[in-house]
Structures are given as C-alpha cells and as structure tokens.
Copies of this chain bind each other. A is one copy, B any other.
Amino acid sequence: MATNLLHVPKPQGLLRPLVVPERLLLGPGPSNVPPRILAAGGQQLLGHMHPEVLQVMDEIKAGIQYAFQTQNRLTLAISGTGHCAMEAALLNLLEHGDTALVAVNGIWGQRAADIARRLGAIVRELWKPPGEYFTPQDIEEGLVRHKPLVLFITHGESSTGVLQPLEGLGELCHRHGCLLLVDAVASLGGAPIFMDQQEIDVLYSGSQKVLNAPPGSAPISFSERAREKILRRKTQPLSFYLDMGWLANYWGCDGEPRRYHHTAPINSFFSLREGLAMLVELGLESSWERHRANCAQLCQGLRDLGLELFVKEEKARLPTITTVRVPKGYDWKEITAFLMENHAIEIAGGLGPSVGKVLRIGLMGCNSTSSNVDRVLHGLRDALRRCHRSRL
C-alpha cells in the first residue's frame, strides 16, 4: 500500500462523537420530527428496486394524492428537497423560449424566476409588496398582457407569512391557455388546497414542514394538461436526474415495467411515507383545523405582547408560519439568539425581501400545539424584557 501518498492526514474533528442537542424548531422549517418518523428513517436499508420499496413508493403516491386531493397518475416524490421540486416543476414544463409569468411577493417567486431564466425561458414578473397577495384581477391582467405558458404562484409564502387565495386561478389560467404551477412547500397540510377542484396543473411541497419528515424528499404532482405539455416537448428536459419521463417510469406512473433510474434516498422515502401516514390518520380537515386554531392562539398572544402582525388581513395569514414585525428599537438577531440560548427554541428572522422586517414563528404538524404556543410566547415575553432596547 502506498502509505506515503497519504498527504492529507485524518481530520481530528471526525474522531470525536457526533453531538446533536434537542431543540424546539419553531422557525419556518424544518420542524421537529416525531419519534415514529425518526424510527422509520432509521430502518435498515433495502435496495431501490426491491418490491417492499416499490410498495412504499406506491403508498407515498397514494398519500400525496390524498394530501393534494388529486387523482393525477403522475404523482411522486422528488429525490431532493423542496427547492429541487421547484426546479423539477419548472424544468419539465418549460422549454427554451417559453414564456413564464411569475408572481413575486416574497423569496419563492424570486427563486422561481431565477430558475426559469437559467432554463432559457422568457420570464415576466408580477409584483406585490411583501405581506400582500395577488387578486384574480392582478393575475388576469398579467395573463392578458404577457400570454405566458406557465404561471408560478406561491400558496404559502414562508418568507412573508402570506397565504395566497387560489380560488378561480386555475380556471382563469386555463381560459388564457396557461398552466398553473403552485408552490405549497410551507402550506400543505396546514391550509386547505384541492389540486383537482382548483385546477392546479403542477403542485409540489416539501417533507420537512407539516409532514414532519426530515428534508430530502419532495411530493409533486402533474395534471393531465401538464403531462401533455411535457409529452409535447421538442427538447429533452435539461436534467436527467429530474426528467419526469424517467421518474414517472420509476414511480410506476406510466404503466410500463419499472426501470432503474437513480438510487433513490430510500430511508427518506420511509420517513416521508410515515409522515404521510400520520397525516392520513389525523385527516386533512383535522390537520387544517389544528393549524388554524393554534395560529389564532399565537396571533392573539403576540398582539397581547404588544406586537404587530405583519400580514394585515386575517384570511391572508399562513396558518403554519406567522410573521410579526420586529418590535421598534430591538435587534431581531438578538431576539432569535436569546430564544435559542435561553429557551432552546428556534424562531427565525426574515428572508429575502422580509429580512430585518419580521420575526417568523412556525407551528407545523406535530409542532402545532397549544403548549408550544404558550412556550414560544413565554420565551418572547422574556426576550422583550431582557434584550437590549435602543433609545429611540
């Protein structure tokens, strides 16, 4: 053995044990993972083509169809995080020169526009200030003006805490020959969404929000209209890893014998399956109601602390992530650090267009409980008392 060739020595940090502290994750995600889901992810591996794994994938598909309320056959989980699903949606739908209209009222629209530009699409943007949502009139004006093939819009804008009303948007898009692509990473399971009735053409989410599984897999579904757009492509999608033709086959969506495509993150699938199973057991209506009630309790408590909610209209507040203005005279970083150090609670500052403006508190899946609301309000009260307040 050529021992003398080992010019890079053993790194000392890896000779020490891994230490992971327990924290209450009330930021915009990931949220805490219940023991049952951790146990599923900690199962021994199987091969990516073993019948038991293919069955788990079938169960995931059925779970996503339930969570999305869709009967689309092209329904599966991407082998990556929510961002990867955003990319998968855009790169399968769009070809070089296609026009995409992106509704930007926070970071996710910005990101979708960035990705679509990289793909060579002609990108048009509709803008709203952070904290606001789009009306059907806003959307219709954009559709008429830009004649896009795809409209991107965010259901749960986790950077601003806005819940986008989706009623009528699907119909509107279809009347104008456009597909409706919706990001529900932060909202799925926490707020009602009905893919089929709302005529959404592509919908995706993440595993690490309401589903309470670790990040690493992302549910996605395509309507027949979207599937046909993909089938009509003149060019191959720019990615092999995310090529929906290959993925549809591996996930058993095309009626053909399943072929090896890539080695899937098998134990992420085990966790996702369990997260979906817990949502199915609880039921969508109960899950929506749970998030609504705990969010309402949180909002009331924040107001009682004298804080100002960032999203004015109650119906436009995302039930999973609440944004509150950084109280005057405080440094948001000091508040989040105080909660982490003194209460082992994560809450977050803003992101993208909301940086420096807001604090974000997430109550997702198993973390959406009345006692967690009490805990974070108690921590915030303590922070407001003990953090430095500049003289105004």
Question: A residues near B, CB below 8 A?
Answer: 1-3, 5-11, 13-15, 18-23, 25, 27, 29-33, 38-48, 50, 52, 55-56, 58-59, 62-63, 65-66, 68-71, 79-84, 87, 111, 114-115, 117-119, 192, 194, 196-197, 206, 208, 214-216, 236-241, 260, 262-268, 270, 273-274, 276-277, 280-281, 283-285, 288-289, 346, 351
Contacts and interface: CB of A to CB of B under 8 A. Distances in A.
21 contacts: A1-B288, A6-B69, A14-B62, A14-B277, A18-B270, A23-B47, A25-B45, A27-B47, A30-B263, A41-B42, A41-B267, A45-B208, A79-B80, A80-B80, A83-B262, A117-B236, A118-B240, A216-B267, A238-B239, A265-B268, A268-B268
Given A15-B280, A80-B241, A81-B264, 16 more contacts: A3-B285, A5-B194, A5-B197, A8-B68, A13-B62, A14-B62, A23-B46, A25-B45, A30-B48, A45-B208, A47-B346, A83-B240, A214-B266, A215-B263, A216-B268, A265-B268
Given A8-B69, A119-B238, A273-B18, A263 B45 contact: no
Given A45-B214, A46-B21, A280 B10 contact: yes
A265 B59 contact: no
A35 to B, nearest CB: 9
A182 to B, nearest CB: 16
B7 A196 contact: yes
Given A8-B69, A27-B47, A281 B15 contact: yes
B265 A214 contact: yes
Shortest beta-carbon contacts, A-B, top 10: A11-B62, A216-B265, A42-B42, A83-B262, A20-B43, A14-B277, A13-B59, A214-B267, A14-B280, A1-B285
Nearest to A61: B11
A240 B111 contact: yes
Given A2-B192, A66-B8, A215-B264, A44 B52 contact: no
A251 to B, nearest CB: 15
Contact of A206 (B55, B80, B263): B263
A311 to B, nearest CB: 21
Contacts of A197: 5, 7
Contacts of A215: 48, 263-266
A365 B109 CA distance: 43
Nearest to A27: B47
Majority-rule SS of A interface residues: loop
A115 B69 contact: no
Nearest to A44: B22
A31 to B, nearest CB: 8
Contact of A14 (B46, B71, B119, B273): B273
A276 B14 contact: yes
A38 to B, nearest CB: 5
A20 B7 contact: no
Contacts of A38: 42-44
